[in-house]
Amino acid sequence: MSATQPDLSAGARVALGPSRSNLGLFFARFLGHRAAVASLVVLAVMATAALCAPLISAAIGHDPNAVSILRRFRPPSSVNWLGTDHIGRDLFIRLLYGARISLFAAITAALVAALIGTVVGLVAGYVGGWVDAVLMRFTDAMLALPQLPLYIVLAAVDLKKLGLAAVAQDEMSSLWRIVFIVALLGWTRVARIVRGTTLAARQEPYVRAARALGAGHARIMAVHILPNIASPIIVAITLTIGEVILIESVLSFLGLGIQPPLASWGNMLTNAQEMLWRAPMLAVWPGLCIFVTVICFNFLGDGLQDALDPRSRPDAR
């Protein structure tokens, strides 16, 4: 027993060593990407402020939907930190509530789109043959469609004429419509990425070993292949979130996205466009929030891509 004990402990150290080493390398690479680290901090602060918007609103004493004609176009002050809009609503609180809607819609739509794309790409890459051909030709057809006009057409569909009057009357229906439209059209890039990595992963020795041990196809895809191709999926999700924020902002700016009384950065820009010369900051603040958020998600995606790439070095940036 005493002779074998050192061998067991050494084996345990060898088994635990790679995972700890890989985790350390990931953090070293990510922390070496200064723009990604700064972006993560900015996004964390923004998300925390958005989640705490009701508490901040109660502490300051401003209702985001409270209208007061006597407080129209007030400049920034200790009472209204960023001033008020054209109907007397506090702009800072509206930005926080707009962040809740815009970020929720973007993250939810990106996750649903990534889920659809992952399933399509995983099945296409693993099964191959005519299944791969059919799924990828359908994906190519979706990619060939003009995305922005299609978003506008789908967002302009009247739900009442489709027999969904009850759904249309719900104030959250415009939010869920954006999520549905983006998920319906935004899964194609993830599908192509997952399909390509799955084609390479299915030839790996660990997949052949699992197949030889009698593992089913679903188990091989879910347990053996998917965890090993998660890196590009995570990067694609972060980049998709930034794109969804832009799409939601464009649709809301055109009056086809998030509808009042819900506040989003896009419909705040819509309300500000008619008063651009009188109160330009009504458009500057939501526009700045959109710009900073999209840039931060793009930098975060770049940092994750470098950190998850085994060819990267901690001193690359």
Interval 100-122: pLDDT, tens:
988 998 999 999 999 999 999 99
- pLDDT value, residue 4: 43
Q: Which residue has the tokens 């390509």?
A: 196
Backbone angles phi, psi at 215, to 5 degrees: -65, 140
CA of 102: how far to CAs of 27, 32, 78, 203, 265, in Å?
29, 30, 27, 41, 7
Residue 140 lies in a domain: yes
Q: Is residue 288 part of a domain?
A: yes
Q: Residue 159: which pLDDT band, with cuts at 50, 70 and 90?
A: confident
Domain assignment present for residue 99? The answer is no
194 found inside a domain: yes
Which residue, among 67, 259, 66, has the nearest Cα to 171 in the 3D structure?
A: 259
Domain region containing 193: 108-308
Count the domains in the chain.
1
Query: Over 50: is that where the pLDDT of 2 sits?
Result: no
Measured distance CA(98)–CA(80) in Å, rounded = 17
The domain that contains 251 carries what CATH number? 1.10.3720.10
| Amino acid at position 257, single letter | G
Report the C-alpha gap between 57 and 80 in whole angstroms.
11
Please indicate, yes or no, if residue 45 is contained in any of the structural domains: no
- Give residue-wise pLDDT tens across range 27-84: 888 888 889 999 999 999 999 999 999 999 888 888 888 888 888 888 888 888 888 8
- Give the angle 103-234-116 at the CA atoms, nearest 5°: 80
User: Is residue 217 included in any domain, yes or no?
Assistant: yes
Model confidence band, residue 153 (pLDDT cutoffs 50, 70, 90): confident
Average pLDDT over residues 305-313: 68
Is residue 104 within a helix (H) or strand (E), and if so which, with residue range? helix 91-127
Q: Which residue has the tokens 């790439």?
A: 309
C-alpha span between 89 and 48 (Å, rounded): 22
Residue 165 belongs to a domain: yes
Contacts of 136 (CB under 8 A, 6+ apart): 124, 192, 195
pLDDT above 50 for 5:
no
In a domain, 219, yes or no: yes
What's the angle, vertex CA 90, arms to CA 86 and CA 94, rounded to 5? 100
The answer to whether 302 and 33 are in contact (CB under 8 A) is yes
Global pTM value: 0.82
Picking from 266, 246, 265, the residue whose alpha carbon sits closest to that of residue 256 is 266
Is 167's pLDDT higher than 80? no
